[in-house]
Every structure is written in C-alpha cells, then in structure tokens.
C-alpha cells in the first residue's frame, strides 16, 4: 500500500491540464517590478537608485538580517525608480522598477546547459553561496533556504526530504521540472545533503506522476543515499509536516519546526535553484510558473523572470478568457486571488490559475450542521468549526488554547464544508490576531 500522512486530507479533482506541456522560456517583458519582500523575514534593502544600469543576476537589494535574502535583477536595463506599488494584496510594497534593455548577463554566470556533476565546494561554502544567491523555498512558502540548512543549537538533521509532491490541483511546474531537469535536481540534492552533512535523502512524489517517479528512481541508482518514495494522492501532502509524516511516520510536535524530528524539507524547485547557484553561479532570478485554468486556450509551463507582470504570462497562454471570474496566484486550494494583472511574478509564484466565473463564485453560506467533516479532514487534527466560531466571536485566548497557530491554512475544511462556511477566512483572521498577541507577549 502507498504511504500517505495519517490525519485527515482531501482529494480534490486533479485537473493537471498542463502536465504534458514542456517548459517554455517566456519572452522578456518590457519592464519588471521586483518587490524587495518576496520571502518570509525582513525585506531586503535596495542597493540601486533611479538611472542605474543593471545586468541580469546583479544584486539589487541586499539581505538585511539572517532571516532575509538577497534580491537579484532578473533583467538587464535601467532602473526606472525605487518606489511602492501594489502587490497581490493591493497594499503598496517597496520594489524596484526596471526598464528592460537587451539581455546582458553578469560575466560569472555560466550560461551553458552542460551538466556539472563534480562538487568542488565544502558544506559551509554551499550554505554561503545559497544565501548569496537569494534562494528561498520555491514551493510557495518562500522561507530562506540557508536558514533551514543551519540547524538551531542542540538539534541535528538526519534526513533531507525533497518535496516533489505538488499536491495542489492544476499546478504542474514541479512535475515538468522533475521530468526535464532530473539530472540537475539530483546534483542539487547532493549539494543540499553536503551542506547539511546528512547521508540520506528521500524524494516524495505523489502517485499521479508515474513518469517522474520512474525517471527519478532511475537516476537514484547512481546517487548513493537518495531514494524515491511514491505517495498516495492526498492533499495537503506537500505541507512539510504532512510530508514528513507520510515518508517517515514521524510527527512534528505542535509549534515545533521539522528539524525537531531531524528532517529538513526542500522543494524540487529549490534543489534545482541550488544546483544552478553553486554549479552555474546563477542566482535565483527566474522560476517555472504554470499558467492554467479550464478556460485557458493553451495551459502552459513557463520559465519566467521574477518581476514579470502577470498579464504577460496570461497573454502567452492565449489571452484572458472572457468568462474569467478570478485570477489566482498559486493553486486553487492555497493560492490567493489577485486584484489586478499588473501584479508581478515573485519567487513564491508557482502558478497563475484563471478560474471561470461559475467555478470561482462562493456558494451561499448556510448554518453549521455539526457534521464534523472539517474535523475529520483537518491534517493538523484541529477543530475548524470551533476555531471559526472563536475567530468570529474574537475569543482569542481560547483560540490559542485550541492550537490555532498549528493551522497550515490548507483550506481542506472550507473545501469539504457542506454548508459552504468560510472556515479558513475566520481561522486565518484568528491566527493573525493570536500571532500578534504572542509576539507582543515576547517583547
């Protein structure tokens, strides 16, 4: 029997429309907007000013603390301005506007496609290079990777887990990457293993990607210590705590990080970015983005420069369908609707999903009938109906006791609710408030 995580989970229709589309390189946009806060942690500090000439791969904003990361220019051209512009939340965020002129890369970047297998640097150097290259978790959480690789005092990593699950419906970016860049990913995994000083890595892939499982199993034969585990299709298996549970059977305690059970989880996209950063000297300034949706003419996977406006991607996938109701950055379960097409692609954008009008509408909210479906699907073992009420009535102390902070915001509860209750909306609200209370208590 295939492995999966123990608690809860749902299985929404997969709709992987673009799984057979090869990754295409998107044409350069005319201008880009690169936000300085594309990661969890402190925003980077801009280094350039209006009128500066920049090259592809040049550092344009510097990491401002340990939990932060460098931002590199994704294009060559002139800095138009360093200003605030609305991001996916509609609130203005600082960023750098660059007008594209040509495509001139930094000299040290190796632009050949030859596979470089020999690892010539030591562990500490790898971590430093990852930090310099601005690599963050590309699964969507955008947590700076170098922070994960250095375990806190008294803890030791034993196992590297590579997340090739891609449990979100529609998205195929990781799937395509595994098929097309398998060799590079394997080298990336070895680099990560060396940086963490572990001798075992497991790649978790859901069973709906048999081609990727087979290919990577093949590649593993030449890589000692690396193995592939096929997993039962179950959302949200891509959550790091769920993946650890599915692969190792261990359970991350409430409030703790995966390192507490000796595991570090990285996405396959991250492993690929690590390969490029170390072996090809190429910092993180482009990523694979799936553009998909039932109304989309040509669902595709694009290799996109960070900062490209969403409109360019939609255009390349055949234009905006007339009946589009919602544009979602990310997948349908955890993604976020964006208010305009000017929103740029950031390091965490794994997909652009165009939902048709009739799919996107929320249904009428009815009363809770205490069916407890939300409780049975919650992968963290919480009671969503209760947390929703606590959020609604603003009873935050009780919400904290009920472990609202453990919620991974996967949305399984809202998805499964027969009364269409906006469970996650209220839980996320309560989580935000409780988080603020906890932070103010620490001060």
Partner 1 sequence: MSIIVIYTIVTLSLIGATAAIILYFVAQKFKVFEDPRIDEVEGALPGANCGGCGFAGCRAFAEACVKASDLGDLNCPVGGNDTMASVATTLGLEAVKKDPRVAFIRCNGTCDNRPKTSSFDGASTCSIASSVYSGETDCQFGCLGYGDCVDACDFDAIDLRAEMGVPLILDDKCVACGACVDACPKNLIELRKKMPKDRKIVVACRNTDKGGVARKACSVACIGCGKCEKVCAFDAITIENNLAFIDSDKCKLCRKCAPVCPTNSILELNFPPRKVKPEPELETKEN
Residue 361 near partner 1 by CB under 8 A: yes
Residue 432 near partner 1 by CB under 8 A: yes
Q: Kindly give the pairing relationship between strand 201-206 and strand 159-164.
A: parallel
Q: Which stretch binds partner 1 (CB under 8 A): 42-50, 68-76, 88-96, 169-177?
A: 88-96
Residue 439 near partner 1 by CB under 8 A: no
Do residues 237 and 206 lie in contact, with contact meaning Cβ atoms separated by under 8 Å? yes
Do residues 215 and 179 lie in contact, with contact meaning Cβ atoms separated by under 8 Å? yes
Provide the 8-state DSSP code for 106. Answer: P
Cα(144)–Cα(136) distance, rounded to whole angstroms?
A: 4
Nearer to partner 1, 106 or 341 (CB): 341
Out of 340, 366, 369, 437, which residue is the one contacting partner 1 (CB under 8 A)?
340
The number of CA neighbours under 13 Å toward the Cβ of 109 is 19
Cβ atoms within 10 Å, residue 320 = 18
Out of 1, 13, 51, 91, which residue is the one contacting partner 1 (CB under 8 A)?
91
Handedness of CA 130, 131, 132, 135 (dihedral sign): positive
Give the contact letters, 139-178, x = binds to partner 1 (CB under 8 A), - = no. Answer: ----------------------------------------
First and final CA of the chain: distance in angstroms?
Answer: 49
Site size for partner 1 (CB under 8 A) = 17
What are the DSSP calls for 193-213, one per residue?
HHHHT-S-EEEEEETT-HHHH
Do residues 75 and 386 lie in contact, with contact meaning Cβ atoms separated by under 8 Å? no
Q: Which stretch binds partner 1 (CB under 8 A): 4-12, 96-104, 208-216, 425-433?
A: 425-433
Residue 97 near partner 1 by CB under 8 A: no
Do residues 234 and 11 lie in contact, with contact meaning Cβ atoms separated by under 8 Å? yes
Q: How near is the Cβ of 230 to partner 1 at its closest, in Å?
A: 36
Residue 429 near partner 1 by CB under 8 A: yes
Residue 224 near partner 1 by CB under 8 A: no
Residue 339 near partner 1 by CB under 8 A: yes
Residue 89 near partner 1 by CB under 8 A: yes
Out of 47, 86, 260, 386, which residue is the one contacting partner 1 (CB under 8 A)?
86
Out of 88, 131, 270, 301, which residue is the one contacting partner 1 (CB under 8 A)?
88
Q: Which stretch binds partner 1 (CB under 8 A): 200-208, 210-218, 271-279, 332-340?
A: 332-340
Residue 372 near partner 1 by CB under 8 A: no
Cα(127)–Cα(277) distance, rounded to whole angstroms?
A: 11
What is the greatest pairwise CA distance in the chain?
64
- Name the site residues for partner 1 (rule: CB under 8 A): 86, 88-92, 336, 339-340, 361-362, 422, 425-426, 428-429, 432
């Amino acid at each position: 029997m295939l492995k999966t995580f123990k608690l809860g989970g749902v299985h929404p229709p997969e709709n992987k429309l673009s799984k057979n589309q090869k990754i295409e390189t998107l044409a350069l946009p005319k201008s880009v907007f690169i936000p300085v806060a594309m990661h969890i942690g402190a925003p980077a500090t801009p280094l350039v000013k209006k009128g500066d000439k920049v090259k592809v791969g040049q550092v344009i904003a510097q990491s401002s603390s340990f939990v932060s990361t460098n931002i590199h220019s994704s294009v060559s051209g002139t800095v138009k301005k360093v200003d605030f512009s609305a991001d996916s939340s509609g609130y203005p965020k600082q960023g750098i506007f660059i007008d594209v002129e040509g495509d001139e890369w930094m000299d040290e970047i190796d632009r050949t496609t030859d596979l470089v297998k020999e690892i010539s640097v030591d562990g500490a150097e790898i971590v430093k290079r990852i930090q310099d290259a601005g690599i963050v978790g590309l699964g969507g959480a955008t947590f700076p990777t170098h922070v994960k690789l250095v375990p806190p005092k008294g803890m030791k990593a034993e196992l590297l887990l590579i997340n090739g699950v891609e449990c979100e419906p529609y998205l195929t970016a990781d799937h395509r990457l595994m098929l097309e860049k398998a060799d590079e990913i394997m080298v990336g995994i070895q680099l990560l293993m060396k940086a963490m000083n572990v001798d075992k890595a497991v790649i978790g892939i859901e069973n709906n990607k048999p081609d990727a499982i087979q290919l990577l199993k093949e590649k593993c034969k030449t890589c000692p210590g690396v193995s592939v585990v096929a997993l039962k299709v179950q959302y949200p298996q891509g959550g790091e705590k769920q993946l650890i549970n599915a692969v190792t059977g261990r359970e991350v305690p409430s409030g703790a990080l995966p390192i507490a059970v000796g595991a570090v989880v990285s996405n396959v996209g991250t492993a690929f970015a690590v390969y490029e950063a170390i072996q090809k000297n190429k910092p993180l300034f482009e990523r694979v983005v799936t553009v998909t949706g039932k109304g989309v003419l040509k669902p595709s996977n694009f290799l996109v420069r960070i900062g490209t406006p969403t409109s360019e991607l939609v255009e390349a996938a055949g234009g905006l369908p007339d009946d589009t109701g919602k544009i979602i950055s990310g997948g349908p379960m955890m993604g976020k609707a964006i208010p305009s097409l000017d929103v740029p692609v950031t390091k965490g954008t794994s997909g652009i999903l165009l939902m048709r009008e009739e799919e996107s509408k929320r249904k009428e909210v009815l009363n809770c009938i205490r069916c407890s479906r939300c409780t049975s699907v919650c992968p963290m073992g919480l009671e969503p109906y209760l947390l929703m009420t606590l959020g609604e009535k603003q009873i935050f102390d009780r919400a904290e006791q009920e472990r609202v902070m453990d919620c991974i915001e996967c949305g399984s509860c809202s998805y499964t609710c027969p009364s269409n209750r906006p469970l996650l909306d209220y839980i996320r609200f309560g989580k935000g408030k409780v988080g603020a209370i906890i932070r103010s208590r620490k001060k």
